[in-house]
Amino acid sequence: MKRLLVLLLVLSLPIISFAQCWKTIDAGTMHTIALKTDGTLWAWGYNNGGQLGDGTVTTRTVPTPIGTATNWQFISAGYSHSVAIKTDGTLWAWGNNSNAQLGDATTTGRTAPIQIGTTNNWQSVSAGSGYTLAIKTDGSMWGWGYNGDGELGVGDFVDRAGQTQIGAGKSWRSVSAGITHSMAIATDGTLWAWGENRFGEVGNGKVVPVLNPTQISTATDWQFICAGSSYSMAIKTDGTLWTWGINGDDQLGDGTFTDRHTPAQVGTGHDWQSVKGYKQTMAVKKDGTLWVCGDNQHGEYGNGSVLYWADSLVQVGTSATWQLSAAGYEYSIALQSDGSIWTSGINDKGQLGDNTTTERHNLAKISCDPLDIPIIDAAQTTVAIYPNPSTGTFQLLHAPALQSLQLYDLQGRLLKQWDQPAAQTVFDIAELAPALYLLRMNATDNSHLFTKLNYVR
């Protein structure tokens, strides 16, 4: 007689410590990518073009590991593609490639990371809307992809399928690709911008496109930049915050709805550390506090409000442990010093990573541990896993109606997912190595069951 192991779910909750927390984050238009301190790459949200990089075009509502590499170092999420650099200096890209934005000299989309070229001297990279900009360790800057608004800075409006040098003769330190305009800081601390300029987002005092990198102001103390949706943000070495461009939602943080065609200081403070923006602006001060302004119709501020603000930057909560932020289309992300991610805003594509598609108006925590989830009150509930130990396949008996079933290893990495499994489904895990695994059963009522599966041969 075959052995049937019935597990009481509350009693089977594994006590496991996950030491690896989130290190850095970036938001695309409707997808999010993040790195953990162990160098692993994770992604969630919309995946219609393969921008998550998990080998599928399936949208994910929880952080999903991308491959098994542990040497990722630098990440950037664009409109529908993603790019990253490994610690060995190699450049990788995935997602939509209709404008050759991946840089592999094709227009073939990729659902998993592919190496771009063979060089290993890439320093930083930024994914925009259909194009990519990157800097090598020798200070040279390169771009490829869509150029219909001059965002590549190569003197024309012609797309580039291969890597093309930008601003030759200058040594570049950092770059930011926006929706239709771009910004960069040279190693001498000067600020440069180019691309679409209808709202003054380039910052040269005009409202016509700029096709080559153009110096903005004469200052030589620029330190941090971000190109948003038709507006720009920057911080100087003295900690002052500057914004310019479109201001219809008060994303410039100056308390008005007036566009600015040249950089204008926001307030009088000298204590800003970083700033990111899409249509909403999120900035972190050196004291660890988080501040926001701009678009808030879906709760992007994370403070419970869904109202626009015609005011200067407003503080979110009272926490003073924020490290950095990221802004997507109508949603926001922020990282705290304990390695936890917090998200708010629109969530129709799972971009908040909380295993729902429910809009959030208050910042919600995404733990270091992707399995850190509430357990259903299962005092009267039993689930049968048959057989357990498994020899390559298993079934669930007496399980509730499931939205999905996920299989994790003990490091919290998602290895397999079955969406909307039917009753009596036979789940195949024969390609995995024999080990103890964790099963997360996501019920259709958004409750969660959580237990163990032992795979042996």
pTM value > 0.85: no
pLDDT per position as a tens digit, 395-451? 888 777 888 899 988 767 788 999 988 877 899 999 998 888 888 888 887 777 777
Q: Report the distance separating Cα 441 and Cα 454, nearest Å.
A: 16
Q: Report the distance separating Cα 447 and Cα 457, nearest Å.
A: 32
CA distances from 341 to 206, 325, 326, 364, 448 (A): 39, 9, 11, 8, 21
Contact 337, 323 (CB under 8 A): yes
Rounded mean pLDDT of 164-180?
97
Residues 390 and 360 in one domain: no
Last residue of a domain, one of 317, 339, 366: 366
Number of domains present in the structure of the chain: 2
Strand order in the sheet with 414-419: 414-419, 402-408, 435-443, 448-455
Q: Kindly give the pairing relationship between strand 191-195 and strand 427-428.
A: unpaired
CA distances from 22 to 45, 307, 351, 369, 433 (A): 17, 30, 16, 9, 27
Residues 325 and 450 in one domain: no
Strand order in the sheet with 160-166: 122-127, 131-136, 141-145, 160-166
Residues 300 and 166 in one domain: yes
Is the pLDDT at 165 greater than 70? The verdict is yes
Contact 243, 233 (CB under 8 A): yes
The two three-digit tokens of residue 405, written as one number:
């079933």
Rounded mean pLDDT of 252-258?
93
Q: Which residues, in sequence order, are bridge partners of residue 254?
A: 312
> Which residue blocks in 307-389 are alpha helix, DSSP H?
none
Residues 382 and 412 in one domain: yes
Q: Report the distance separating Cα 372 and Cα 134, nearest Å.
A: 36
* Phi, psi of 74, deg, nearest 5: -135, 135
CATH number at residue 146: 2.130.10.30
Residues 39 and 151 in one domain: yes
Residues 397 and 283 in one domain: no
Residues 286 and 390 in one domain: no
CATH number at residue 405: 2.60.40.3080
Triad 23, 24, 25: Cα angle to 5°: 140
DSSP code at position 303: B
- Average pLDDT value over all residues in the chain: 90
Place 38 in a pLDDT band, splitting at 50, 70 and 90: confident
Return the residue matching tokens 């923006």: 277
Place 13 in a pLDDT band, splitting at 50, 70 and 90: very low
Which residue range forms the structural domain that includes residue 438? 5-13+373-455
Residues 46 and 111 in one domain: yes
Please give the full DSSP string across 98-164, using - where no structure is assigned. TTSTTSSSS---EEEEEE-SS---EEEEEE-SSEEEEEETTS-EEEEE--TTSTT-SSSS--EEEEE
Last residue of a domain, one of 366, 388, 418: 366
Alpha carbon 112 to chain centroid, angstroms: 16
Burial call 163-199: b when 16+ CB within 10 Å, e when fewer: bbebbeebebbbbbbbbbbbbbbbeeebbbbbbbbbb
Last residue of a domain, one of 340, 366, 392: 366
Residues 449 and 301 in one domain: no
What pLDDT score does 441 carry?
A: 86
Return the residue matching tokens 């063979």: 118
Q: Report the distance separating Cα 277 and Cα 261, nearest Å.
A: 17
What pLDDT score does 317 carry?
A: 94
Burial call 332-368: b when 16+ CB within 10 Å, e when fewer: bbbbbeebbbbbbbbbbbbbbbbbbeebbbebbebbb
CA distances from 127 to 240, 257, 430 (A): 26, 28, 37
What pLDDT score does 360 carry?
A: 96
DSSP code at position 340: -
Is the pLDDT at 8 greater than 60? The verdict is no
Residues 148 and 223 in one domain: yes
Range of lowest pLDDT (103-112, 265-274, 302-311, 357-366):
302-311
Q: What is the CA radius of gyration of the chain?
A: 23
Q: Report the distance separating Cα 96 and Cα 102, nearest Å.
A: 8
Residues 361 and 378 in one domain: no
Contact 410, 436 (CB under 8 A): yes
Contact 284, 324 (CB under 8 A): yes
Residues 185 and 216 in one domain: yes
